Amino acid sequence: AQTVTQSQPEMSVQEAETVTLSCTYDTSENNYYLFWYKQPPSRQMILVIRQEAYKQQNATENRFSVNFQKAAKSFSLKISDSQLGDTAMYFCAFMRSPTVNAGNNRKLIWGLGTSLGVNP
């Protein structure tokens, strides 16, 4: 069974600085997707960034980028130029490739989250 581990329950960063959130996962699959979701105090679940396992290039979305190390099963999120609005819980999630078989391949398996506080 797949598992996702976020080893940092809480982190803080000063506004405008850079912070990296860690995520490791365990799977025997070769094709899968990894995601980072943001959950602000409103509790809405917002997709931040995604990575396809078959792509070697790390995904980037504006100030957010990932360091995907497939062999090490590591998927960290880097937030550059941190803003007060980045304060939130951040969840790492895993999903098997929908093309693997006809089963429930869109189930997201979640880490327990990292609470990030951005200080002014």
Partner 1 sequence: EAQVTQNPRYLITVTGKKLTVTCSQNMNHEYMSWYRQDPGLGLRQIYYSMNVEVTDKGDVPEGYKVSRKEKRNFPLILESPSPNQTSLYFCASSLGVTSYEQYFGPGTRLTVT
52 binds partner 1 (CB under 8 A): yes
Residue of the chain from 8, 74, 108, 115 that contacts partner 1 (CB under 8 A): 108
Element (H, E) at 110: strand 109-110
Number of residues that bind partner 1 (CB under 8 A): 22
Tokens representing 50 are 């995604």
47 lies in the binding site for partner 1 (CB under 8 A): yes
Q: How far is the CB of 33 from partner 1 (least distance, A)?
A: 5
Name residue 65's beta-bridge partners. Answer: 60, 78
* 85-104: contacts with partner 1 (CB under 8 A): 91, 95, 97-99, 104
Spatial separation of the C-alpha atoms in residues 110 and 94, rounded to whole Å: 7
Give the C-alpha separation, 5 to 116, whole Å. Answer: 16
- 66 neighbors 86 (Cβ within 8 angstroms): no
Q: Could you list the residues that contact partner 1 (CB under 8 A)? A: 33, 42-47, 50, 52, 91, 95, 97-99, 104, 106-108, 110-113
